């Protein structure tokens, strides 16, 4: 056996073990090793209202009706809107777009905006990543004679709004096949709708004298929206992201290419870049800037305009970081009073509502508990303060369902979401009652989830085994994310050669093993944690095992493997 064959055999063995450890059946290993749309794509017609939505949009195209895509202001909303707009352009039909202002209009469709769009000529409005629970707003549009199609993935109530069609795998009356895809982001649902639209138009003979659009070219948008919305990366979502990254690497989308350049990436984006570099910039427009910037960037064909918008989004992202740090500091001051709570609920006046979701995620990571952060910033009709809240949950705790129940209990003005994230509107005088109700409602689920929080290790090795080739082998089992966790390794036993703080609160390490090899490790935002303090001040002369995810550090003159630390244990 030559060296190349031996390396391939080793790679296959490691990847196979990773797949099997994630619950993949032996007979499905090859399908999961290289996830493709062919292997995972369902028939879109299996979803409730999919054919009705596709037919209505087809009729709008055939009849040259004015159509508006109404998107949410986050990455999933921006990519969903951009996908449908680009698809309609491919089909020879120009569509308008409307993205609400987060501060002035809040989340979801407003009746006023929908009716106004109708008065301006739109006979068809397609909402993306919003609308599942907007009963009042959609009723206003219905009464005004406007057809609305809802393309969403958020939790639904038993009673559906008055719309021409509701395409949402989380409908309570969804088919078994549709419900099995409840983990899709809205952009994934929009892609399935795109397939249905093209198929419907084909049935109408639309492509007798025109070329069918290349839907695969839109997968870069699907990948970005899926990862940035923290959708579970199993099944179809893995195929979307795996194939979407290939499309993204070609840089066919002018706006996406400018976004990559603005993120200072010198290589083709990896899955982690979508969540930590590209996604935050798109989000920055909706959080602290102009809500339409993301859609404008992802739909423009002008390189100069794309570069300008991408640069603007990068500046807004830096502003967002500063605002976020201020709100996080204020929010964390309230944590001491919540040690016995199963759900963390913090609120404050003057907090910027554009960053509360990020802060909720940070506190959730720090406490290990579902977290709601509420910005009390406007007056309700009774002259009292009202707050916008954003929540992030932990695996095993369905926060979206709890928020819908709280709304039904009269604790909220509005609210909805999905298992891992939720949004709400609440009167200030109901915040404490909401916190008490959530604490009682979710106590058992949180307790069970926290009891099951363990670090599952895939591999134990000495420092000499921590190499770039090992990282590349394990990465081939990706893309990794929520629902498809990246591999974790334990490295040791080692002694710390150096331990210090970089940035504001990251712990940087250099560790050496008994094999004479050393490596770098970093524990993000860990300086004030028990682990961070032990590494900084209590590890001298002691032997440890370090556990976490291995990454390639390509900032050095040559790529090196480093450990992103999640846990540590004494070896002596």
Task: Kindly report the CATH number assigned to the domain that includes residue 182.
Answer: 3.90.1640.30
Neighbour tally for 174: CB within 10 Å: 20
Residue 189 belongs to some domain of the structure: yes
pLDDT of residue 483: 83
Residue 47 and residue 183 share a domain: yes
Question: What local confidence, expressed as pLDDT, does residue 6 receive?
Answer: 42
Q: CB neighbours of 205 closer than 8 A, spacing ≥ 6?
A: none
Query: Does 18 fall in a domain?
Result: no
Low-confidence ranges of the chain (pLDDT < 70): 1-12, 380-382, 555-557
- Look at residue 380 in the predicted model and tell me its pLDDT: 66
Q: Are residues 267 and 384 in the same domain?
A: no
Q: Are 323 and 352 in contact (CB under 8 A)?
A: yes
Q: Is residue 170 a contact partner of residue 154, using CB atoms and an 8 Å limit? A: yes
Residue 226 lies in a domain: yes
Q: What are all long-range contacts of 556-559, with beta carbons under 8 Å and residues at least 24 apart?
A: 559/468
In a domain, 346, yes or no: yes
275 in any annotated domain = yes
β-pair type (421-427, 459-461): unpaired
Q: Mark whether 86 and 223 lie in a shared domain.
A: yes
Please give the tally of structural domains in the chain. Answer: 3
Phi first, then psi, for residue 285 (nearest 5°) are -60, -45
Rounded to 5 degrees, φ, ψ at 211 are -80, 140
CB hemisphere CA count around 237 (13 angstroms): 26
Any idea what DSSP says for residue 537?
H
Give CA–CA dist 128/81, Å, rounded.
6
Give the SS3 label for residue 335. helix
pLDDT of residue 3: 40
Q: How far apart are CA 286 and CA 554, in angstroms?
A: 31
DSSP category for residue 445: H
Same domain, 438 and 528: no
Q: Which pair of tokens denotes residue 367?
A: 């406490």
**Contact yes or no for 343/370 (Cβ under 8 A):** yes
What pLDDT is recorded for position 381?
A: 63
Rounded Cα gap, residues 186 and 192, in angstroms:
10
CATH number of the domain enclosing 423:
3.10.310.30
Percent of the chain's residues with pLDDT above 70: 97
Residues 427 and 469 in one domain: no
CA distance 343 to 160: 29
Longest alpha-carbon distance in the chain: 80
Q: What is the dihedral of CA 247, 248, 254, 255, to 10 degrees?
A: 130
Look at residues 315, 350, 377 and tell me which one is the last residue of a structural domain: 315
Domain end (from 269, 285, 315): 315
Residue 467: C-alpha distances to residues 520, 540, 563 (Å) = 11, 26, 10
Q: Which of 265, 286, 315 is the last residue of a domain?
A: 315
What share of the chain in percent tops pLDDT 90?
Answer: 78
Sign (positive/negative) of CA torsion 231, 237, 238, 243? Answer: negative
Supply the range of the domain harboring residue 417: 333-451
Is the domain of 337 the same as that of 303? no
Q: In what order do the strands lie in the sheet with 421-427?
A: 344-349, 371-379, 385-392, 421-427, 414-418
CATH number of residue 530's parent domain: 2.40.50.140
């Amino acid at each position: 056996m030559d060296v190349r064959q031996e390396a391939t055999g080793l790679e296959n063995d490691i990847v196979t073990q990773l797949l099997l450890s994630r619950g993949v059946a032996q007979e499905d290993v090859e399908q999961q090793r290289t996830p493709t749309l062919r292997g995972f794509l369902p028939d879109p017609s299996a979803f409730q209202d999919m054919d009705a939505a596709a037919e209505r949009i087809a009729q709008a195209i055939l009849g040259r009706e004015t159509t508006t895509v109404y998107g949410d202001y986050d990455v999933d909303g921006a990519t969903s809107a951009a996908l449908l707009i680009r698809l309609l352009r491919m089909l020879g039909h120009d569509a308008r777009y409307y993205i609400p202002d987060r501060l002035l209009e809040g989340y979801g469709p407003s009746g006023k905006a929908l009716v106004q769009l109708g008065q301006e000529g739109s006979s068809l409005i397609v909402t993306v990543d919003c609308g599942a629970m907007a009963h009042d707003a959609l009723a206003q549009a219905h009464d005004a004679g406007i057809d609305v199609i809802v393309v969403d993935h958020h939790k639904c109530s038993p009673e559906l709004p008055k719309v021409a069609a509701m395409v949402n795998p989380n409908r309570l009356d969804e088919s078994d096949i549709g419900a099995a895809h409840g983990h899709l982001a809205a952009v994934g649902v929009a892609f399935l709708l795109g397939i249905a639209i093209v198929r419907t138009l084909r049935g109408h003979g639309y492509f007798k004298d025109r070329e069918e659009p290349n839907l695969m070219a839109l997968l870069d948008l699907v990948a970005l929206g899926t990862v940035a919305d923290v959708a579970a990366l199993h099944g179809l979502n893995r195929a979307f992201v795996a194939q979407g990254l290939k499309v993204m690497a070609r840089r066919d989308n002018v706006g996406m290419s400018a976004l990559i350049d603005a993120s200072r990436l010198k290589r083709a984006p990896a899955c982690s870049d979508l969540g930590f570099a590209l996604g935050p910039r798109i989000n920055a427009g909706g959080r602290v800037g102009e809500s339409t910037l993301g859609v404008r960037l992802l739909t423009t064909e002008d390189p100069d305009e794309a570069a300008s918008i991408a640069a603007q989004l990068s500046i807004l992202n830096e502003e967002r970081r500063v605002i976020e740090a201020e709100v996080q500091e204020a929010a964390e001051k309230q944590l001491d009073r919540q040690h016995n709570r199963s759900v963390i609920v913090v609120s404050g006046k003057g907090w910027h509502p554009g960053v509360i979701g990020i802060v909720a995620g940070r506190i959730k990571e720090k406490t290990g508990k579902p977290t709601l952060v509420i910005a009390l910033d406007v007056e309700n009709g009774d002259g009292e303060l009202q707050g916008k809240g954003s929540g992030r949950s932990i695996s095993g705790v369905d926060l979206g369902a709890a928020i819908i129940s709280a709304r039904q209990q009269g604790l909220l003005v509005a609210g909805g979401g999905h298992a891992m994230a939720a949004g709400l509107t609440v009167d200030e005088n109901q915040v404490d009652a909401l916190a008490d109700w959530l604490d009682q409602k979710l106590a058992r689920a949180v307790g069970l989830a926290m009891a099951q929080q363990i670090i599952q290790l895939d591999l134990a090795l000495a420092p000499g085994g921590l190499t770039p080739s090992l990282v590349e082998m394990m990465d081939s089992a990706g893309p990794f994310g929520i629902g498809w966790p990246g591999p974790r390794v334990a490295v040791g036993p080692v002694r710390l050669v150096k331990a210090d703080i970089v940035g504001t609160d990251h712990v940087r390490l250099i560790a050496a093993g008994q094999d004479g090899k050393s490596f770098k490790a970093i524990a993000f935002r860990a300086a004030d944690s028990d682990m961070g303090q032990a590494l900084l001040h209590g590890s001298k002369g002691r032997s440890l095992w370090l556990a976490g995810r291995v990454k390639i550090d390509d900032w050095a003159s040559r790529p090196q493997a480093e450990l992103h630390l999640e846990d540590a244990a004494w070896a002596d």
